[in-house]
Amino acid sequence: MTSTVDSEPQALVLPKWLQTCLLEEQAGSDTAEQSLICRAFNFAFHLHEGQYRASGDPYIAHPVAVAELLNDLGGSASMICAGFLHDIVEDTTVTPDQLEDTFGAEVRQLVEGVTKISKFNFSTKTEREAENFRKMFLAMARDVRVIVIKLADRLHNMRTLEHLSKEKQRRIAMETRDVFAPLANRLGIWRFKWELEDLSFKYLEPEVYRSIQSLVSEKRTTREALITEAVNRLTARLDPLGLKHLEVTGRPKHLYSIYKKMVRQQKEFHEIYDISAIRVIVGSNDECYRVLAIVHDLFRPIPGRFKDYIGLPKPNRYQSLHTTVIGLGGKPLEVQIRTLEMHHVAEYGIAAHWKYKEQGNASAHPWSPEDEKFTWLRQLLEWQSDLNDVSDDAQEYLDSVKDDLYGTEVYVFSPKGDLVPLAKGATPVDFAYRIHTEVGNHCYGAKVNGRMVTLNTGLKNGDIVEIMTQKSAHPSLDWLNFVTSTLARNRIRQWYKRSRREENIQRGRDLLEKELGKTGFDALLKSDTMHQVAEQCNYASPDDLLAGLGYGETTLNLVVNRLRELNRQPQSSDPLTQKTEESSQFSLFQQASSSGRGSAPSAGQDTPIAGVEGLVYNLAKCCHPLPGEPIIGVVTLSSRGISIHRQGCSNVESVPGDRLIPVSWNPQSETQGHRQTYPVNIQIEVLDRVGILNDILSRLKDLHINVNNAQVLTKRGQPALITLGLDIEHLNQLDRTFTQIRKMTDVLNLRRLHHSETTSS
């Protein structure tokens, strides 16, 4: 394919490095890597020809800008090619196979990875957002370069965001601030991180952004004069040291970092003094500490404002000495001291591996699963499986991911001197589970700096933590009230769930036996039918199914319906058939009653119950039937008229057939303005923690469910029992309510109560 450098649109200005590459290709003096890059540009140029962005610029300007950002990061030829081609699969008719035939498997893998991530929409429903996170981290695990390309793509889109609608601006800016800027920080790419944050700030808080921008601009002259004077004084003190490499520069802080400081410290702009900083770059670690001594001799240090990130690097491998001193004019001044290599890592993060490589191998894969700088990513992937084991709560997963994306703030040591990063506020229990699940499960005490402490003690930077274990020890439910990490919280729940397996199996067995009857029940559990039901419900065995039923992971209705579907087959001889035939007596009763009374239920009348028109009736308090449930009428022996029961109610089993009448819910009553609620009592068994009742009530509020009564029974060290009285309109509404409550990780069991149970409790 011939070069198109001479046929580019007038509006498109190619960067110099690309112009050089294309000219060398034309002259036949290009390298294999340059040839690949030129072919990718020409390929993208022709395929995007005639396409335009919202700004009116030719679309190819965007891939060129993305490729330029990747080139600045020192990306390999394959990465730069993927930058040119990242929208090809999505916006043209080119297939991944064609891409591979033309540019190779590596480029295809990168383009496909970016294409999949580009389809993610993080501002949608919680469940979809959680699934998108899972997919994105899996893509990163396969090749972290995929997310670097996506960050370059997002940065250029943010730079041109003014051409989109206000609604799209806010959605994309929020997604950038909450997801992509923290990812850039986690990868250590500071030059991407700060610009993504400032651009997001510009569109999410436009008035505040303009205000701070204006205030910074107004004070610039005075501030720059003070910074210049401080730089000159420090340089004069450092020059005589004969350092091999020395750079002393002043830099303004970014607008979003100023805004965050104002919010965090609850101060006005004029109360924030350290909005500029001095950066000193030297040649070695030893020189960093020598410079620090000079800084503290020249300026008075502020106590508690020194951080040594050289000895204790951040998880993203950032290293530097930070100190805040009283500068000229009595204003606080931040000074950062680092080596040239540390500066490259701070600016380029993981990409420093490509841009400043010792061996010159630009195409080397930048990540292996054992690389320490990706510990946080491996943990996220591990926690995905942990969360799937104990919860389907998408919100909990999102909270755990976002907490980890925003970084750790406490660094402690094991007795052997291993550095362990933890979240701010972490306790010895968080530390124990971070070391190993079994260490956490058998923890009974802890020492911090050689002294015994309680397990809820908050850890501080530099603490040496020792965990004491014994085989008989096990997690306590009280731990859930103070652990801060999702890892610890989920593994405590996981242990509790598994340790109660036998109890859960027995509870599930009791529920199923009560529904199906005792006759032949043991044979049913051992039958092939029961194994098939377990598989259909995604369980490995009937015992697992019973445990899930007892734990509340699956519903009794689902299990019974699966059984009945399988028993409709003619060859089935399971005991359930007998029970099904017994339960079908209600339909026989309906036929007999209908022929004897000559009044079939009518759905056209303006009453909630069809079949009792003109008669006195009441809803039975023993079973509290709901619209949507099969019901039966019972002629009472008193003067209360017809009592409406749920089909299958134990109080109806002994009623003679001549007292039963066929009834049903009238579907038209709701459409005619007769919407009403019906009382339902439920019991929830939960892990006892602070705020659990409030969390449940919040979910009910979101579902527009009124709670007319609430009782909580607690016993130290045991699950709590919460009994709620609800006002429900229809069975479907109750099912939705049960589904939402069961999604809560702390919920162990959930069931609907009968009248006898509510009165006895």
- Residues annotated catalytic, as ranges: 90-91
Element (H, E) at 133: helix 126-142
- For residue 421, the number of C-alpha atoms closer than 13 Å in the C-beta half-sphere is 18
Backbone angles phi, psi at 283, to 5 degrees: -95, -20
Q: Is 684 helix (H, G, I), strand (E, B) or coil?
A: strand
Instruction: Give the Cα separation of 564 and 572 in Å (integer).
Output: 10
Q: Is 392 helix (H, G, I), strand (E, B) or coil?
A: coil
Contact 407/185 with Cβ under 8 angstroms? yes
Residue with tokens 């229809």: 730
Both tokens assigned to 745: 């990780």
Both tokens assigned to 708: 């007319």
Instruction: Give the Cα separation of 387 and 491 in Å (integer).
Output: 9
Sequence letter at residue 652: V
Cβ-based neighbours of 30, under 8 Å, separated by 6 or more: 21, 24, 38
Cβ-based neighbours of 671, under 8 Å, separated by 6 or more: none
Cβ-based neighbours of 694, under 8 Å, separated by 6 or more: none
Residue 594: burial class (beta carbons within 10 Å; 0-12, 13-18, 19+): middle
Cβ-based neighbours of 557, under 8 Å, separated by 6 or more: none
Give the residue among 84, 61, 68, 59 at the shortest CA–CA distance from 16.
68
Measured in whole angstroms, the distance separating CA 659 from the mean position of its chain's CA atoms is: 57
Contact 44/66 with Cβ under 8 angstroms? no
Cβ-based neighbours of 455, under 8 Å, separated by 6 or more: 427, 428, 429, 443, 445, 446, 479, 482
Instruction: Give the Cα separation of 233 and 577 in Å (integer).
Output: 93
Instruction: Give the Cα separation of 381 and 369 in Å (integer).
Output: 11
632 DSSP assignment: E
| Total number of residues shown for the chain | 761
Contact 567/529 with Cβ under 8 angstroms? yes
Instruction: Give the Cα separation of 708 and 311 in Å (integer).
Output: 59
Backbone angles phi, psi at 300, to 5 degrees: -75, 120
Instruction: Give the Cα separation of 92 and 151 in Å (integer).
Output: 22
